[in-house]
Amino acid sequence: MARKQQQKVPALNRNRRQQVQAENDPRFRQDEPRPIHPKRNTAPLIAQTAKQKQYIAAIQNFDVTFGLGPAGTGKSYVATMIAADMLDRGEVDRIIITRPAVESQEEFGFLPGELADKYEPYLAPIKEILYERLGKGATDYFVKSGRIEAIPLAFMRGRTFRDAFVIFDEAQNATPGQMKLFLTRIGDNCKVVIDGDAAQSDIPNSGLVDAANRVSHIPCVRVITFDRSDVVRSGFVSEVLAAYASD
């Protein structure tokens, strides 16, 4: 019996099939780098400086904590780690994050996408810390379900914070009026951290220190002030701050 002649695959089709297989193989997709997220950090939060220890204790024991001082002292990092832990343990229903959108002067209309897309650049630094503490999957789930919410400062009016951990990041770029607006949103069972560096304000009339001074006498409020000796980001940052201290 004559053997059935094997049908030849045209070279063009064979090459195209190999190309498609390569495109679908993640080992060969060098044109689309995969995002790298840190492994989830579940270790207990340990203060790296005496002032950080005071800051952690203040957040845990007071309703409203101001963290004032230079960059690299862990103000945002510590607050976000504690917020993530409280959300994970069910001690708060959600995390609310806000910061002034100074670069766009609180005007989001000219930026592409929906409001969440427009505000994404301002949420990104906090989101990286949430990824570290909760993991990317859990963080994305909480964001989609509304349990982690980013609210532009311009959209605060009429809101009330309840059963939430609220982080007001980069508050040195808020005016006195915006600080008053934010502080009057705080409702029951709410933990609030307001952080910023008055020396790095991008506006002429920052309301951060003014607000801290006005409400520091209230029993549920604690103000923690960091200085250059509390910088933990790197020795280089300490040197940079020292170099600019004379200005």
**Contact between residue 100 and residue 173 where contact means Cβ atoms under 8 Å apart:** yes
CATH fold of 50-244: Rossmann fold (3.40.50)
Instruction: Please tell me the predicted confidence (pLDDT) of residue 112.
Output: 56
Question: For position 28, what pLDDT does the model report?
Answer: 39
* Cα–Cα distance for residue pair 102/202, rounded to 1 Å: 7
**pLDDT value, residue 176:** 95
Q: Is residue 186 helix, strand or coil?
A: strand
How far apart CA 50 and CA 229 sit, in angstroms, is 10
Rounded Cα–Cα distance for residues 69 and 196 (Å): 7
66 strand-pairing partners: 194, 223
Q: Where are the domains of the chain?
A: 50-244
pTM: 0.77
Q: What is the mean pLDDT of each successive set of 10 residues along the chain, which is 247 residues long? A: 51 50 45 54 90 97 96 94 96 93 53 60 84 93 92 87 95 94 94 94 90 97 94 72 67
pLDDT the model gives residue 107: 52
Distance CA 73, CA 51 (A): 9
pLDDT the model gives residue 134: 95
